[in-house]
Structure 1
């Protein structure tokens, strides 16, 4: 990631925040959805923690591996 972003409770910008992921944090990607607005969101967990939530793919960089639909 580049920048600091909040993980959300759901795949929409209006959903409440779960936690903040700082720039450079490693995250584990679980799966993705395309919401009703046509935006792609990925469900992820911050590495080394039990904190998980949704983040817009617009905020992600340097993803490795295949993406799986939820």
Structure 2
């Protein structure tokens, strides 16, 4: 991930922020959804923490492994 982005409480930009994931943070991907606007969002956890939330797939790069629908 490059850049700093907020994890959200839900898969929409208008949802409340949970925490900020800093540039270079390692994220664990759990699953993804496509919201009503057609945008893909992935439920992630910041590695080494219990902090988790939704992040737009537009902000994710260099993903490894299969993506599973929630």
TM-score relative to the length of structure 1: 0.99
Shift of 1:28: 0.2
Shift of 1:55: 0.2
Specify every segment of 5 or more residues in structure 2 that has no aligned partner in the other structure, as ranges.
none
2:28 corresponds to which residue?
28
For residues 1-70 of structure 1, what are the structure 2 equivalents within 5 Å? 1-70=1-70
Count of matched residue positions in the alignment of Structure 1 and Structure 2: 70
TM-score relative to the length of structure 2: 0.99
Other structure's SS at 2:64 match: coil
CA RMSD, aligned part only? 0.2
Q: Which runs of 4+ in 1 moved over 3 A?
A: none
